[in-house]
Structure 1
């Protein structure tokens, strides 16, 4: 049997008391998984309206999104739409910034359904809130395992905003690449992924031995938590940030990502509790909001920037804040 990403059961986690035997057991599983793989499969409660949301997502992709949004930003809500880019020729992607801010989803819905539609808004808000709460719980467990004080978590929760990325992959034509997304690490804090059909695989992560592992969604209530570059930097490299990619087979694939983007001006800085003689500082402080734009600008020049190259102490890069 091949290597498998760990599966952790978070169902009824709202009933767990911090410090209880169950809470500590799951906390240790979470930390071990993120230390070794940089991700895990989470089983979440069935009250997250995942299936209904995906039904509406298919309806969204029946619209002419390029006509509705182009590649610009709406004046009412930041919406980024891309279709069949040079490095992602099979992917359509619609990103909604600040998804939990008042009015954002409602304004988005009005663009698609000018005559009124509330179901998508309700589903998207419920999904985003519950997945964000799960993301917060994972970070709380990580910080507790690292022995960090509560104020670090409070600051960290305020340091980023949840976005939503709605993705559709088409089936490759004869002679086309089957790479939906090339190998990369996420340039945010963390990401939670789901997909519509648990039987249509596509996501792969590279383990520490350099092997690609197929990430399986074992139930309809499965989600994948991924460590991203900013969380790896904050933990002084204690958590693994996995290189991952998406491969597409002979069926179209729908996926929803909920990344936490660093807020403008927030400094990603390793807590002093995580630095000592045995664990020297690995990453310099940096403004997390500047990292992704810099990465993309360099990529357009044909230069691939890594976290170590961007803010690694050994790289000696100045003026990161």
Structure 2
């Protein structure tokens, strides 16, 4: 079961139509987070009061058994209707999805991530980028936090390239775990994206839209606070995922 805010990134060809016709243009509806290539812009906050009245939980929508290749099934239509209603009302929902279960989360959290963060600092800093926050984050005074980003993670070759940057001999086990996780999360992401476009009558832009997106996996480790003053190191914020 995954709980995540919806992230929406329209392709340039659809952007004007989306602003005229989408949920974003209606001030009474909840916003999305735009994450176009090279640009990030958070919109208004989610409806926290509505979530509080629900006991802190959003609507649960079952994506199990749905396939991106079968968007005309009755089950798809029902999930799309529920997702659109939840986004109008709250801006988020709880996705029940069988693609990322304990059989995958266990190896990711208990094997792949610990192996990554156990590497020497010199190796981890090779995950560099010319753009802020797109590579290694860490070694920050007073903050027990590290994070690395695997770019284009749904592509196995890209994950292997990342692994060989840190482990010169490669790490096939790490690659397979991260790649499988990324592919399954991409499947869920694209199902949600297609449902949103369909609910707006813009499904013809789906292919160009997803081709404009970048997918990555960021692994983060929060260490034990160094002292009382560093127990709270980061303010509340929204990340693109």
1:32 paired to 2:85:
yes
**Distance in 1 separating the partners of 2:109 and 2:158:** 19
CA RMSD in angstroms comes to: 3.0
CA change 1:47–1:40 in 2 (3 A) is closer
> TM-score, normalization: structure 1?
0.50
More strand by share: 1
1:97 paired to 2:151:
yes
Q: What residue in structure 2 maps to residue 138 of structure 1?
A: 192
Shift of 1:18: 2.1
Structure 2 unmatched ranges of 5 or more: 1-53
Structure 1 unmatched ranges of 5 or more: 192-258, 260-321
Match of 1:3 among 41, 44, 56: 56
2:171 is paired with a residue of what secondary structure? coil
Find runs of 4+ consecutive structure 1 residues off by over 4 angstroms: none
> TM-score, normalization: structure 2?
0.65
Please say if residues 156 and 175 of structure 2, whose CA atoms lie closer than 8 Å, have aligned partners that are also in contact: no
More helix by share: 2
CA change 1:18–1:72 in 2 (3 A) is closer
Please say if residues 16 and 22 of structure 1, whose CA atoms lie closer than 8 Å, have aligned partners that are also in contact: no
CA change 1:173–1:156 in 2 (3 A) is same
Q: What residue in structure 2 maps to residue 168 of structure 1?
A: 221
1:62 paired to 2:118:
yes
CA change 1:99–1:156 in 2 (3 A) is same
Count matched residues. Answer: 183
Q: What residue in structure 1 maps to residue 180 of structure 2?
A: 126
**Distance in 2 separating the partners of 1:34 and 1:85:** 37
Greater RCO, 1 or 2 (C-alpha within 8 Å, sep 6+)? 2
**Distance in 1 separating the partners of 2:232 and 2:207:** 38
**Distance in 1 separating the partners of 2:60 and 2:200:** 21
